[in-house]
Structure 1
Amino acid sequence: MPTILLVEDELSLAFIVQDNLESRGFRVVHAADGYAGLALFRQAKPDLVVADVMMPRLDGFALAEQLRREHGTVPIIFLTARGQTADVVRGFEIGGSDYVRKPFSIEELVVRIQARLQSSNQPLMAPALLRIGQYEFDYPHQRLSRPGHTQELTHREAEVLYHLYTQRNQVLERRTVLQALWGDDTYFNGRSLDVYITRLRRYLMADEQVHIVNVRGIGYKLML
């Protein structure tokens, strides 16, 4: 039975969500703010976190940043009334797995939870250090280093780079990485992926032998 940590300060909404998820076979533990959610995460060790963005004391983004430092792979789904692109991008950059905008249906939330749990059952496994030309890629700690310089990566940047690395010198299909990291291949998610690819190219540009090339209509290739 998967355990879901629900961090939501609207108690009436939290009760409805918890009741409906439990009726569908999930075990749900609830915290009413970010600090309580962090403590409960350490105690319950959930399979997935559903967190409201706007909460007192410690908001959902700050909670996610702390969870990513302590646990690099647990899926995090944000609940939010915010619709601005900047907020959505920030949530993905700090390691969010998905967004559900309020108001939402329980059916939508359940589908998104199931999709993220299915993805997390196939975790990415990597050695501590991966060699990319002149660079060392520390995937677990999200760092890309070369002599004299270290680039701290966001969670999403590290995930995209690792997918490229696992298919190095081969084509990584765009749809594959979008499904694995975002859960779908919508236009907006595709544009987000393009942003991360552009950033990774910039991080790797000191080594002229390393290139991320577009394969038109298919995806990308990390050439070493």
Structure 2
Amino acid sequence: MKTKILLAEDDPDFGMILKQYLELEDFEVSWFQNPEDIVQILPSGLPFHIGILDIMMPNIDGFSLAKMILKEKNDFPLLFLTAKNQKIDRLTGLKIGADDYIAKPCDPEELTLRIKNILKRTLPTAVETYIKIGEYSLDTSKLLLSHSEGNIRLTVREQELLVYLLKHNHTTITRDNILDSLWETNDYFTGRSLDVFISRLRKYFSHDQEVKIQSLRGIGFEVDFPTY
């Protein structure tokens, strides 16, 4: 399950660079050079997890576009891009409801980090509400993992870990990355806590042998969730 990004950037060169880099980082990017095209799809909903908006665009500037988006979906995460590193722009964006702000030209790695930090703060709204996982279904709005054998009410931490693993499905994840991303610290006690939560998730998914969370000694975990 890839994170879907709405990118509004009228500069063809910069937009293409951002799109290609973010896709290399395993994001799914829908790039719009004309903000009016985004306005056209607003009534039908926004199938994205986060929006990246350039402030200086023709016809409709980024601030105006943000107001339209937030009117339709007031909890939609937004990050502003601007060529002007001025205080007034930063304040205007934050007052509108932006989650972050970065000046162009920006370092793609820094942009990626900011996106991931926003998504981490906005969970579970940054993921789909209903996720099918093999024989199970996850309702993130209710912290509910369901199976024909019964329902399991997850803790917030259990769901955060499960969503993190889903975002890195079919990959190897290091223990350090999980601890730094979810616990924001990495020591013996948090490491043991991670092991406990991993054991719980394995137990929860015991009715579906296709769901695999495999430990890799000295590295981390390899996860394989059948999703549809």
TM-score (norm 1): 0.52
| Corresponding residue SS for 1:51 | strand
Could you list the per-position Cα deviations for residues 29-76 of structure 1 after superposition, in whole angstroms to 9, with x for gaps in the alignment? 011122112335546521000010000011100000011110011111
2:27 matched residue in structure 1: 26
**Residue 50 of structure 1 contacts residue 78 of structure 1 at CA under 8 Å; is this kept in 2?**
yes
Note closer, same or farther for the CA distance 1:2–1:55 as it changes in structure 2 (3 Å cut): same
CA–CA separation in structure 2 for the residues paired with 1:28 and 1:107: 16
| Corresponding residue SS for 1:104 | coil
CA–CA separation in structure 1 for the residues paired with 2:109 and 2:10: 21
| Corresponding residue SS for 1:99 | strand
2:15 matched residue in structure 1: 14
Which of 97, 110, 113 matches 1:111? 113
- 1:154-165 to structure 2, matched below 5 A, reads none
- CA drift at 1:122: 4.2
CA–CA separation in structure 2 for the residues paired with 1:3 and 1:32: 17
**Residue 53 of structure 1 contacts residue 80 of structure 1 at CA under 8 Å; is this kept in 2?**
yes
CA–CA separation in structure 1 for the residues paired with 2:5 and 2:101: 16
* Structure 2 alignment gaps of length 5 or more: 126-228
Note closer, same or farther for the CA distance 1:43–1:32 as it changes in structure 2 (3 Å cut): farther
CA–CA separation in structure 2 for the residues paired with 1:5 and 1:119: 18
Which of 85, 100, 103 matches 2:102? 100
CA–CA separation in structure 2 for the residues paired with 1:56 and 1:44: 22
Note closer, same or farther for the CA distance 1:104–1:120 as it changes in structure 2 (3 Å cut): same
Query: Greater shift after overlay, 36-45 or 46-55?
Result: 36-45
Larger radius of gyration: 2
CA–CA separation in structure 1 for the residues paired with 2:58 and 2:80: 15
| Corresponding residue SS for 2:23 | helix
4+ residue runs over 4 A deviation: 40-44
| Corresponding residue SS for 1:65 | helix
| Corresponding residue SS for 2:53 | strand
- 1:135-146 to structure 2, matched below 5 A, reads none
- Cα RMSD for the two superposed structures: 1.8
* Structure 1 alignment gaps of length 5 or more: 124-224
Q: Percent identity?
A: 33
Note closer, same or farther for the CA distance 1:68–1:43 as it changes in structure 2 (3 Å cut): closer
CA–CA separation in structure 2 for the residues paired with 1:85 and 1:100: 12
TM-score (norm 2): 0.52
**Residue 11 of structure 1 contacts residue 32 of structure 1 at CA under 8 Å; is this kept in 2?**
yes
**Residue 49 of structure 1 contacts residue 75 of structure 1 at CA under 8 Å; is this kept in 2?**
yes
